[in-house]
Amino acid sequence: MKNQIIEQYIDMYLTHNEAPKNVYVFAKSLNITEQEFYQYYPSIEAIEASIFQEWFKEVKNNVESSELYANYAVREKFLAIYFAWIEALKQHRSFVVARWQTQSKQISLPKTPTFLKPLKEDFIAFSQNILGEGMQSKEITERKFISDKYADAQWLNLLFITNFWVNDHSINFEKSDEAIEKSVNLAFDLMGQTALDSMLNFGKFLFQNR
């Protein structure tokens, strides 16, 4: 029933160019009672807040169930998630574009609009787990006061990628694929060992062995 509710919400949003007016009207369109509706969602707003979150859960489960995924480097895991995310959004492009553009002022980075907050919580938790793997494998450099912000940076990158795709008019969204690769590579170049890290480590070595 949850999937039916989400599908109906999207259909009504696109048909009327706005969210359903109230639970009564929406429940009636589903041929269910208000009481039945409340078994799944407490409000119309709660449906919207769950849509992108549910899509991400499905993307995450599909990607992680791949036999190859477990052997991916951390950079490749993020690439896989971002590419799969955009593929999932393609199935609902009309709704994503309509919703994104309606709230375009809210989506100005780094602010997170209300309807994306549940998605943010799940994505941050996912990112923290994968980034932890990267620090253990030394793919990512742990830095005092900065490492804790890595997951937030990945969230901003998800927003950037989604926003880029919403406004992408290239054939088969080829520019979005390029944006994913370049943004992830840049992020990992910044999170990895840099010349500055090497200089600091060398200076520390000289200080300890003077």
Rg (Cα) of the chain, in Å, rounded? 21
What tokens does 120 get? 């943010």
Peptide bond between residue 110 and the one before it cis (omega within 30 degrees of 0): yes
Tens digits of residue pLDDT in 62-102: 999 998 998 999 999 999 999 999 999 999 999 999 988 77
Question: Mean pLDDT over residues 104-129, rounded?
Answer: 80
Average confidence (pLDDT) over 12-27: 90
Is the pLDDT at 103 greater than 70? The verdict is no
- Contact yes or no for 123/158 (Cβ under 8 A): yes
Q: pTM higher than 0.75 for the full model?
A: yes
Structural element, H or E, at residue 35: helix 34-37
Distance between CA 131 and CA 175 in Å, rounded? 26
pLDDT at 138: 86
Judged against a pLDDT cut of 50, whether residue 10 lies above it is answered with yes
How sure is the predictor about 13, in pLDDT bands with cuts at 50, 70 and 90? Answer: very high
Average pLDDT over residues 164-185: 92
- At residue 124, the pLDDT reads 95
Confidence of residue 40 (pLDDT cuts 50, 70, 90): very high
pLDDT at 126 over 70: yes
Query: Worst-scoring range by mean pLDDT, 5-19, 26-40, 139-153, 190-204?
Result: 190-204
pLDDT at 202: 46
